[in-house]
Amino acid sequence: MKLSNLVTALGFTFALSAQAASLPVVDGVLTSPPMVPPPIQRDHAARVVVKMETVEKVMEIADGVEYMFWTFGGSVPGQFLRVREGDEVEFHLSNHPSSKMPHNIDLHAVTGPGGGAASSFTAPGHTSIFNFKALNPGLYVYHCATAPVGMHIANGMYGLILVEPKEGLPPVDKEYYVMQGDFYTKGAYGEQGLQSFDMDKAIREQPDYVLFNGAVGALNGDKALTANVGETVRLYVGNGGPNLVSSFHVIGEIFDKVSVEGGNLYNENVQTTLVPAGGAAVAEFKLEVPGNFILVDHSIFRAFNKGALGMLAVDGPEDKIVYSGKVAENIYLPEGSAVQSIPNGHPKLVASSKDDQLLFGKRVYEANCQACHQASGQGIPGAFPPLAGSDFLNTDTTRAIDVVLHGLKGPIKVNGQAFDSIMPAMSLSDEDAANVLTYVLNSWDNSGGVISREQVAKRRDEGEAIIMEGSAH
Ligand SMILES: [Cu+2]
């Protein structure tokens, strides 16, 4: 090599390393779902040092159902990572010594073979380090790509990395991290105990669970996302798959702006956005009215029967012009309706004490009875009889079992008030029927007592639909 070339080559090498060395070093901020690291304030590139750990651990996938998840950072989805376009990322992947499996990471934000997979292959109790430059802005999925890849992903090994554009993102009031995944268990949805992965179901693409953030109810109740009227919310939505495409929708909201597939194309006024397996989208919307807004995969059986349901609870003053709320309620019961059953797909819970029965029974009540008999069992005059202090209920609990199992129609009197209507048979398991009746009997001034699974099983065989004399239906 000529001296001049050598000098150029050396100079080039020095220049490169000098540039890398001159970048300020910062620690990568990682957050567990549904939280997102704060917006990046830097107006220049940095060398971002990221330390992520793979951990295999048992967590609840639903009430009373456990699953051995494989995770990035101990949660499903894994930790959210936020960097800036042009940053140089020094990625440390550690595999916890208690792991049974090697793991690695393929970040869709990486330009290079395997997205980092080969360079990050890490045995239990080891750490791998590799570097990449975040060339393209956008919201990207990362996942484990160790064989069998499908199984590592199905066990929860995915998350999101946001590469903010150089100019940053417009500020919003709230940012959240929601990621969908499908899960395949040996037992059916809700079957209790520790469930193992079912490869056959995964290959057939027939999940038992389709979830936001790794568990039934991960975004419900006191874990709901929150915001206030007047605020703008930005949801970073990912889909780990392994198989299903998500039709992401928020009931009662319209996305003002969607970054389609997490890229630079913006769509406006969107009802439902597709999030491919191994893909993402960013949905933004301003909140005009308070209430509970339900996040679903609009492939709707997934939402109501497989768990793909979350909640955004919005607080603040009503705006009756934007949304009035119910202005009237009338009874509509066409003549000739027959006793029919309403299917029920809730997890089967096995109670081992009266306290359990009361707890589980309350859930069954809320899911199956409350719509008609109301939250405190008060019923609706002229339409649905009260269960609170009901003489019809308390004087004959065997009949009450029959009502729940087989249905009831025709004229009845409850506490002196006449009803002549139809209650459909509830298709509940013996367990659920026993629990809900025990709950009802011990609530709202009723006479107490316990209804057992066995009693219900007996009436299932011996009982039948109660059709009261004088039934016009
Ligand atoms: Cu893995």
Mean pLDDT of 53-61: 96
CB atoms within 5 A of ion ligand 1 belong to 103, 144, 146, 152, 157
Please name the CATH architecture into which domain 179-315 falls.
Answer: Sandwich (2.60)
For residue 255, the SS3 value is strand
pLDDT band at 190 (very low <50, low <70, confident <90, very high): very high
User: 120 C-alpha to center of ligand 1: Å?
Assistant: 11
Does position 78 have pLDDT exceeding 80, yes or no? yes
User: 32 C-alpha to center of ligand 1: Å?
Assistant: 18
Positions at the binding site = 103, 108, 143-144, 152, 157, 298
User: 180 C-alpha to center of ligand 1: Å?
Assistant: 18
Torsion of CA 69, 74, 80, 83, to 10 degrees: -120
| pLDDT tens string 319-352 | 888 888 777 777 666 654 445 555 554 555 688 8
Q: 382 or 272, which is more confident?
A: 272
Asked whether 433 and 365 are in contact (CB, 8 A), the reply is no
**Angle, CA 218 vertex, CA 214 and CA 221 arms, to 5°:** 170
User: 336 C-alpha to center of ligand 1: Å?
Assistant: 57
Per-residue tokens: 166: 């150089």
* Residue 392 CA: distances (Å) to CA of 14, 64, 378, 446: 89, 34, 14, 11
* CATH topology (fold) of 354-467: Cytochrome Bc1 Complex; Chain D, domain 2 (1.10.760)
User: 154 C-alpha to center of ligand 1: Å?
Assistant: 10
CATH number for the segment(s) 25-169: 2.60.40.420
Per-residue tokens: 223: 């874990």
For residue 387, the model assigns a pLDDT of 97
Does position 18 have pLDDT exceeding 50, yes or no? no
Positions at the binding site for Cu cation = 103, 108, 143-144, 152, 157, 298
pLDDT band at 3 (very low <50, low <70, confident <90, very high): very low
Domain boundaries, the chain: 25-169, 179-315, 354-467
For residue 163, the model assigns a pLDDT of 98
User: 145 C-alpha to center of ligand 1: Å?
Assistant: 6
User: 110 C-alpha to center of ligand 1: Å?
Assistant: 18
pLDDT band at 228 (very low <50, low <70, confident <90, very high): very high
Q: Report which residue type is found at 400.
A: A
Does position 6 have pLDDT exceeding 70, yes or no? no
| pLDDT tens string 383-394 | 789 999 999 999
Mean pLDDT of 415-443: 91
Q: Identical fold at 25-169 and 179-315?
A: yes
* Residue 290 CA: distances (Å) to CA of 175, 200, 322, 323: 18, 44, 11, 10
pLDDT band at 292 (very low <50, low <70, confident <90, very high): very high
| pLDDT tens string 23-36 | 999 999 999 999 99
